[in-house]
Structure 1
Amino acid sequence: MVFFAHSSLSQFATCDRFCRKIENLIQEMQHKDSGVPVRAQKNFLTTIPCAFTGYDLVEWLMVRLQLSDPNEALHLATLLCQCGYYFPVSETKSLAVRDDGTLFRFQSPYFWPSQNWEPNNVDYAIYLTKRAMRNKQRHGLEEHEQSSLNKLQKMLCDKWDFVYMQAEEQVRLSKDRKKTDKVVLDSQEKAFWRVQRPGPGQFNCLLEEGKQVIMMRKPNHKKEDTSILIITDSVFDDQHEKTAHEALENRRLLHRFEQYEEHDPFLGCAQPSNPWVTDDTTMWVLNTVLVDTPTEKRVKRWSFDMMELLNDPRGLHEFKGFLEKEYSSENIHFWLAVEHLKHGTQSAVKETVEHIYKEYLAPGAPCEINIDSKTMEGTLQSIKHATRYSFDAAQEHIFLLMKKDSYQRFLRSEQYKHLLATAINPSPKKKWDFFYAPSCDKNIT
């Protein structure tokens, strides 16, 4: 007898108990003698080792759980597949188990949900990039995966060279594998990420909210035949997406607050003192535009973001000097020239656009920058009708190039380390309460 109960997970068992019961059932399936028949199976021209069919799986569940309705066995088999305990050896987009000859393989226990895997965005970005590099007909990305890849590329722009290099290396290594190993490993990896990062509307066994619990009991009411708890479909709807997005934005806001808290004169204290209160102008002197020796706070702030460095005249001066040593100063000069164009007078726009083109983009230009052909074509079309924003695409390309390469090397350079080591760290002066000044001797009467 099978009956359904809609309730919270805590009403029946903890998550650990749930995983233990499900995994006990999976271990029974894998039993050498009494489990699901596992053998080498033919898949077109490839022989898949240690595989079983959907028909064998459904038949085993009906016998083991004494089910009379095949639809119940199919439903249970599909849920177990969506939880990642076994996976289809094919490129099918659906994880629904059918009562046919579709081949499946058991997932390694190392990747079971009970292991509480928390893969980071870098791992997922490498996986998606790797698939994007391969045959689009067999390994093409779905719409939500392509969207995730685009978001990750913006989020991890400072690490994207590493991500691309790792993906490229994994693709190269996969070419040396046998066809059978390739099919199995690709299916296994795809199944793992379907569980960890399901698409919109797909089942997510890792969500606590919105879970429904099915309690299945056998006809005989023996103590050892306790109920088996499984999780049914949970819709990953817009509400969950909105909540996850809000949580991410809150974490970013909190991180920004913690990062800038020390540099906020309202939350912290002005060092060495507040000139508006004490008439001591030392703070202004230490933070002049091109001071010889900047303060430690000012130098540390350059490492927060590249715009923090470029917005500080002292930081910009140091960055220019660093790029000149590396013979790539044309990038920062082009970026500054475009910024000057955006904020210059309207009457000088056409002349400035022509000057920037001749100086940085024309063939054989004295300070020629390196941009890709697509960006160059778009820029050449834009400057035919000169505006303040004709070089936006090229400027963004150069900015990202500096941010991912030159800026990172600047922060690791001896020049920046020397600036940090020699920076001034003014200690705040002691504050005295206007209404109370502590006496030096407690014994004075």
Structure 2
Amino acid sequence: MFKNDSILGPCTQSELCFADTHDSDGSSSSSRQSLKNTAKWAASLENLLEDPEGVKRFREFLKKEFSEENVLFWLACEDFKKTQDKKQMQEKAKEIYTTFLSSKASSQVNVEGQSQLNEKILEEPHPLMFQKLQDQIFNLMKYDSYTRFLKSDLFLKHKRTEEEEEDLPDAQTAAKRASRIYNT
């Protein structure tokens, strides 16, 4: 994780903040809210990255693979592109550079062309200044980590849980959820 989570913005319950809520079977109770998403996640990396729960699960997987910095960099770049205020853009550009791209970065990503970036260009940031590097990381994730994620126990467990929940009538599903939540 990087030193300043401000790059990702404030965390809401539907995003990345509820990692410690688990049911008696060890699965996250929050996954019940968006279970039908595993099919969307499997359709494309783009779909996965658009879903806060998908990002959370992908991050869990990447953390185990020691490559979480890739998705964090991609998310930081997405946030950066949405920044309008010049001063805020400068601050975020410097944070992205120091966290992911400098030779002393705490969560350095491995991309071609990062040596061409220096602190001088950070003085005049523009929304697409990291686009080429972000695209490299996206492709690295898409053709490497993402394919392994779809075969991982983490993903397959969520998919099985989704299928089991679909097979239960609504009343049973609610009772099962309540049972897990309250461990009765």
Which residue of 2 is the match for residue 395 of structure 1? 134
**1:425 paired to 2:163:** no
Consecutive unaligned residues in structure 1, runs of 5 or more: 1-287, 430-445
CA distance in 1, matches of 2:95, 2:125: 12
Task: State how 1:90-105 maps to structure 2 within 5 Å.
Answer: none
Alignment check: 8 A CA contact 1:383 1:390 kept:
no
One-letter amino acid matched to 2:130: F
Alignment equivalent of 1:386, drawn from 107, 115, 125: 125
Which residue of 2 is the match for residue 336 of structure 1? 75
CA distance in 1, matches of 2:167, 2:85: 44
Alignment equivalent of 2:103, drawn from 355, 358, 363: 363
Q: Which has the higher strand share?
A: 1
Deviation by residue 1:115-142 (Cα, 9 ceiling, x = unmatched): xxxxxxxxxxxxxxxxxxxxxxxxxxxx
Highest CA radius of gyration, 1 or 2? Answer: 1
State the secondary structure of the residue aligned to 1:317: helix
Consecutive unaligned residues in structure 2, runs of 5 or more: 1-12, 16-29, 171-184
**1:376 paired to 2:114:** yes
CA distance in 2, matches of 1:389, 1:312: 23
Identity %: 31
Shift in alpha-carbon separation, 1:382–1:304, aligned structure 2, 3 A: farther
Alignment equivalent of 2:61, drawn from 316, 322, 325: 322
State the secondary structure of the residue aligned to 1:344: coil
Shift in alpha-carbon separation, 1:391–1:417, aligned structure 2, 3 A: same
State the secondary structure of the residue aligned to 2:138: helix
Q: Once the 2 structures are TM-superposed, how far is the Cα of residue 300 of structure 1 from its aligned partner?
A: 1.2
TM-score (norm 2): 0.68
Q: Once the 2 structures are TM-superposed, how far is the Cα of residue 298 of structure 1 from its aligned partner?
A: 1.5
Task: State how 1:282-321 maps to structure 2 within 5 Å.
Answer: 289=14, 291-294=30-33, 297-321=36-60
Q: Once the 2 structures are TM-superposed, how far is the Cα of residue 365 of structure 1 from its aligned partner?
A: 1.0
Q: Once the 2 structures are TM-superposed, how far is the Cα of residue 330 of structure 1 from its aligned partner?
A: 0.7
One-letter amino acid matched to 2:126: T
State the secondary structure of the residue aligned to 1:367: coil
Q: Once the 2 structures are TM-superposed, how far is the Cα of residue 315 of structure 1 from its aligned partner?
A: 0.7
Shift in alpha-carbon separation, 1:318–1:376, aligned structure 2, 3 A: same
Shift in alpha-carbon separation, 1:295–1:345, aligned structure 2, 3 A: closer
Which residue of 1 is the match for residue 178 of structure 2? none
CA distance in 2, matches of 1:296, 1:354: 37
One-letter amino acid matched to 2:166: N
CA distance in 2, matches of 1:322, 1:405: 12
One-letter amino acid matched to 1:371: V
One-letter amino acid matched to 1:317: K
Shift in alpha-carbon separation, 1:384–1:295, aligned structure 2, 3 A: closer
One-letter amino acid matched to 1:376: Q
Alignment check: 8 A CA contact 1:341 1:388 kept:
yes
Q: Once the 2 structures are TM-superposed, how far is the Cα of residue 361 of structure 1 from its aligned partner?
A: 0.8
Which residue of 2 is the match for residue 411 of structure 1? 150
The size of the alignment, in residue pairs, is 140
Alignment check: 8 A CA contact 2:100 2:107 kept:
yes
CA distance in 1, matches of 2:64, 2:115: 31
Q: Once the 2 structures are TM-superposed, how far is the Cα of residue 378 of structure 1 from its aligned partner?
A: 4.9
One-letter amino acid matched to 2:105: A
Alignment check: 8 A CA contact 1:382 1:390 kept:
no
One-letter amino acid matched to 1:425: E
